[in-house]
Structure 1
Amino acid sequence: MTMTRTESQAKSRPLTARRLLLTVALGLAGVDLAAKAAAQRLLSAGRVVDLGPLDLRLVYNPGTAFSLGATLPAPLIVTAVAVIVAAVAVFAWREAAHAALLMVLGLALVLAGAIANLIDRLDDGVVTDYLHSGWWPTFNLADVFITVGAVVVLTSLFRPTPRTVDHRPQSRFE
């Protein structure tokens, strides 16, 4: 039995979407880790760079978002974060196989931020933050990826999905 072009494209769609998910997630995680390394190098000894609405200021966060759990043992935080990242990765992998492009990109952003913050935390139990607004807790690029990705995922849930067109001949009596 030979496969038609449409059937072949349908079978390769999950693989292509998953490749896109991984490529974007790993690429952006690398961008974040490079930015954190640059922040550590350039902002050491309390140096602050004023960029207008944002300052670059080096801070280390031992907790999770908004420093929640900062007093807990680092191995507990790392383990909990690793479990959450694994769950997000499994969900994103499964969802990407049949999700719209917007959803795949949103999941890739969330996964990128989660992976980058986990990798950053593995060495010393803290996450490197460097973007400071003065009115919001200091954060990093991975946090931006997670937030924007979550908004994109939510937005994609409210977009109408394209309907499949049935090309079979219709009877006049249907």
Structure 2
Amino acid sequence: MTTRPDVAARSPTGLRIRLFGTAVVIAAADLAVKAAAARNLPGRGTVDLPGPVDLRLLFNPGAAFGLGAALPAAAIVIITGLVVAGVAIFAWRMAPTLGRVARVGLALVLGGAVGNVTDRALDGVVTDYLHTGWWPTFNLADVAIVTGAGLMLLHSFRRPPSTQEDAPP
């Protein structure tokens, strides 16, 4: 007996695999771009790009927006690692019950968080390289986290499909 791919993909295990697989791809892409930025941007100052974002290499010793920069790197890795573990547990438990948009959002949040915590665990700082001049310098993982949170927020405003119990008599 064979299982149809579309049915297997909608099984709880299939949904979890897709969510975590997407998160792994996001984290890997983030770490690859950070490595390229660290290799190619030192000493170049700001590289002007067309549009609102330029390239500027910075290393963030703190958490979001540099908060906690005075804390030891190990403390930030442990705290953010625990948060990422909590997000992963939530993702594992919720993947089968969430809609597609929320699952994609959660995969983006998880992948971005894993990328940033991995980067910090390697050398105590997070590599940032996207610079606007009006917002703190950020990276692909940050973009994934914000985009994912936005998708999850949008999904939360979706009205659940009505059931016959909700229909007027």
TM-score category, normalised to shorter length? 0.7 to 0.9
SS in 2 for 1:58: strand
1:42 paired residue number? 40
Work out the CA distance in 2 between the residues paired with 1:154 and 1:82.
Answer: 23
2:146 paired residue number? 147
SS in 2 for 1:44: coil
Amino acid corresponding to residue 41 of structure 1 in structure 2: R
Deviation of residue 123 (structure 1)? 1.3
Work out the CA distance in 2 between the residues paired with 1:71 and 1:13.
Answer: 45
1:66 paired residue number? 65
Larger Rg: 1
CA RMSD of superposed structures (Å): 2.1
Going from structure 1 to structure 2, the CA distance change for 1:134 and 1:11 (only over 3 Å counts) comes to closer
- Residues 23-172 of structure 1 correspond to what in structure 2 (within 5 A)? 23-52=21-50, 53-163=52-162
Work out the CA distance in 2 between the residues paired with 1:119 and 1:127.
Answer: 9
Work out the CA distance in 1 between the residues paired with 2:20 and 2:89.
Answer: 12
1:170 paired residue number? none
Deviation of residue 44 (structure 1)? 1.1
Amino acid corresponding to residue 49 of structure 1 in structure 2: V
Going from structure 1 to structure 2, the CA distance change for 1:162 and 1:36 (only over 3 Å counts) comes to same
Identity over the aligned pairs, expressed in percent?
52
Going from structure 1 to structure 2, the CA distance change for 1:97 and 1:124 (only over 3 Å counts) comes to same
| TM-score, scaled to structure 1 | 0.86
Work out the CA distance in 1 between the residues paired with 2:157 and 2:35.
Answer: 37
Deviation of residue 46 (structure 1)? 3.9
Amino acid corresponding to residue 56 of structure 1 in structure 2: L
Going from structure 1 to structure 2, the CA distance change for 1:164 and 1:25 (only over 3 Å counts) comes to farther
User: Which sections of structure 1, spanning at least 5 residues, go unmatched?
Assistant: 167-173
Displaced runs of 4 or more, over 4 A: 9-12, 163-166
User: Which sections of structure 2, spanning at least 5 residues, go unmatched?
Assistant: none
2:54, 2:130 within 8 Å by CA — same for their partners in 1? yes
Going from structure 1 to structure 2, the CA distance change for 1:20 and 1:71 (only over 3 Å counts) comes to same
Deviation of residue 111 (structure 1)? 0.3
2:112, 2:144 within 8 Å by CA — same for their partners in 1? yes
Going from structure 1 to structure 2, the CA distance change for 1:11 and 1:128 (only over 3 Å counts) comes to closer
